[in-house]
Structure 1
Amino acid sequence: MHGHFAWNELMTDDVEKAKAFYAAALGWSFESFPMENSQYWVAKAGDAPVAGLMAIEDVAPGAPPHWFAYVEVDDIDARVAAAEREGGTVLRAPFDVPGVGRIAILRDPTGAAMGWMTSAAPAA
């Protein structure tokens, strides 16, 4: 739904330690999700996907471990253009993730980074 938080990812320097922690603390299980240049894990609560985990060195070398949020938008390309007009900075231009949707990484005028995404239509 447009304007709502849609996904969260943990970027960490110790994926296995994080997986063990969240499995024990929250009961999450993990499923590998193929990515072109990195190993991505989908955290699940029961059968429902709830978050992603990845090695921080694959996406933001030198950054500390952190959770990263994504907001659903109705039209990623139009919304990114609007964000730029309003003083936002595009850190990664819109790109496609097969079966997931189209994603961009932005920084708002205060300096906070966030992902925006237009999810792919569900498979018929």
Structure 2
Amino acid sequence: MSDVRPHGIFVWNELNTRDIAAAKAFYGATLGWSFEPMPIEGRADYCIIRQGDTRVGGIFVLGGPEFDGVPEHWFSYIAVDDVDARAAAVDSAGGAVLRDSQGAVSGWITPAM
């Protein structure tokens, strides 16, 4: 069994919000999700979203001046075989790591299983 997720598939979704308590209350009540804090040194805790025993996403707190003007949003991550090589290909195709040539944003990661 491979320890790396297949290239080119969506592997993670993350809610970026300023009000994590409200987000947890909303999605807990409407989708039945539960939440697991994941401490991050020097930042607000990240939050793992669970559906039963399965990790289905995360919640990131948009805190601090670097996020001024950034709207709350869902952010998707796509598995890639080599982030550096794929980022170079994106650049030569007219996009950026987090913005494609048409303006759609996503994150690319090389996740371990």
Output the TM-score relative to the length of structure 2: 0.85
% of aligned pairs identical? 51
SS at match of 1:107: coil
Asked if 1:87 is matched to 2:94, the reply is: yes
Matched residue type, 2:89 = A
Between 1 and 2, higher relative CO (CA 8 Å, sep ≥ 6) is seen in 2
Runs of 4+ in 1 over 4 A off after TM superposition: none
Matched residue type, 1:72 = A
Match of 2:59 in 1: 53
Q: How many residues align?
A: 106
Match of 1:7 in 2: 12
Output the TM-score relative to the length of structure 1: 0.78
Matched residue type, 1:114 = S
| Deviates further, 28-37 or 69-78 | 28-37
Cα RMSD over matched residues? Answer: 1.5
| Deviates further, 60-69 or 3-12 | 60-69
Structure number with the higher strand fraction is 1
The CA deviation at 1:67 is: 0.4
The CA deviation at 1:61 is: 2.7
SS at match of 2:63: helix
Structure-1 separation of matches of 2:94 and 2:80: 18
